[in-house]
Amino acid sequence: MKYQSNNFETNAIHFGYNAQENEGALTPPVHFTSTFAFETAQVGGEMFAGEREGHFYTRISNPTLSLLEERMAILERAESALATASGMGAITSTLWTFLRPGDEIIVDKTLYGCTFSFLNHGLAEFGVKVIHIDLSDSQGLKQHLTKNTRVVFFETPANPNMKLVDIREVSAMVHEFNQDIRVIVDNTYCSPFLCNPIAFGADLVIHSATKYLGGHGDLVAGLVVGNKDDIQAIRLFGLKDMTGAALAPLNAMLIMRGLKTLALRMERHCENALKVAKFLQSHPSVKEVSYPGLSSFKYHNLAQQQMKGFGGMITFEVHGGLEAGIAMMNQLNMIQRAVSLGDAETLIQHPASMTHSSYTPKERLSHGISDGLIRLSVGLESVDDILMDLKQALNCCVPASLDDKTDKLASAELA
């Protein structure tokens, strides 16, 4: 019997595994094998024909990957999941499966830089029409749905500007128009602990497992989660034939190790990030802060409805523009200047010149990614050290706005 619970934390540790079926091994064995021996040639033929279940080659499936996939499916409240070699591997394997020349995909305006690049420099050049709209405006969506629409794709919160999309509203509108259109949510920023898009009506969920799922900055991986038929289609076409982006079994093991502490880590990421966001908001050198947990944030109410916590990601802009922001980044001692997110270490980066440099300056402007934006992935260090590092860097390098200084000092005194 394999263990199953009603609780997220327990499933993240135990689901789908029975030590007694594995010589008592507490942690599941890693099946370090590329291929699998067939008992007879006929058995092999039957597996290839899809008439018999079983593993035959690790690009398609492997017992260690299967356990990770089963665990992710239960954590995302879905039927099935597929592990891939990277988040981009999950996105490309999925979209190559459902799109053909002449089809249309509607995507939110704000997307991770390489996703944007894949759509515009990849799919669009193979005859797929890519329509970028602001999905936080659902009326705008209605007028773009056509008989050729196959997929609606978005991130929430979006990388990097933290814009939220109402998953329930968008999914309902799309499915009312046509049940067969796949609503695909990149849930990387939330992890399944903070949000389960399928419960709000989405069809497929994508993760860069490189981030919170792995959680330790030591691997690159991806996952796609959805119903059995869709996942099987992605496995047997998008992954097997189009991208070949199969996950290494050892990395699957490392992600399962990450999952064991996902709930604990996410709670601390959220707790630290809220304190950091409030500190930034009260600092006279900071012009604007975007964080779903701030009551002043445009999408705060939506975040309360569809997220269990507000996450570990913050963006902000300082007075003095880009130059002051870069000087501040260079002054940091403990916080690391690095792309990626969701690690134990607090990471800071500049989207316009780093993760989103594949957008042209004009595209960044019209897609809501300003040049001065700085992104912080708040880690698991003592929040006192994170705040101290930010404070010394801001005080050293960034001018305080006189207006802001008076306002903020006054409000700080009142508080």
The catalytically annotated residue of 17, 71, 182, 186 is 186
Question: 174 vs 220, which CB is nearer to ligand 4LM?
Answer: 220
DSSP state of 234: I
Tell the smallest beta-carbon distance from residue 186 to ligand 4LM (Å): 5
Question: 188 vs 346, which CB is nearer to ligand 4LM?
Answer: 188
The catalytically annotated residue of 71, 109, 150, 211 is 211
In the complex, the residues that contact ligand 4LM under the rule CB under 6 A are 86-88, 112, 114-115, 155, 159, 186, 188, 208, 210, 220, 222, 339-341, 355
Question: 13 vs 224, which CB is nearer to ligand 4LM?
Answer: 224
Cis peptide before 29 (omega within 30 of 0): no
Q: Is residue 112 flagged as an active site residue?
A: yes
Q: Which helix (H) or strand (E) holds 204?
A: strand 204-208
State the CB neighbour count (10 A cutoff) for residue 10: 13
Q: Is residue 182 flagged as an active site residue?
A: no
Q: Is residue 268 flagged as an active site residue?
A: no
Which pair of tokens denotes residue 179?
């049940």
Tell the smallest beta-carbon distance from residue 90 to ligand 4LM (Å): 8
Q: How far apart are CA 275 and CA 277, in angstroms?
A: 6
CA atoms within 13 A on the CB side of 326: 9
Q: Are 2 and 222 in contact (CB under 8 A)?
A: no
Which pair of tokens denotes residue 116?
């944007």
Q: Is residue 59 flagged as an active site residue?
A: yes
Question: 251 vs 272, which CB is nearer to ligand 4LM?
Answer: 251
Residue closest to ligand 4LM, measured at CB: 87
Chain position carrying tokens 């134990």: 344
Q: How far apart are CA 302 and CA 190, in angstroms?
A: 14
Q: How far apart are CA 390 and CA 318, in angstroms?
A: 12
The catalytically annotated residue of 112, 189, 291, 299 is 112
Which pair of tokens denotes residue 119?
């759509």
Which pair of tokens denotes residue 247?
């996950």
Question: 11 vs 86, which CB is nearer to ligand 4LM?
Answer: 86
Tell the smallest beta-carbon distance from residue 178 to ligand 4LM (Å): 26
Q: Residues with catalytic annotation?
A: 59, 112, 186, 211
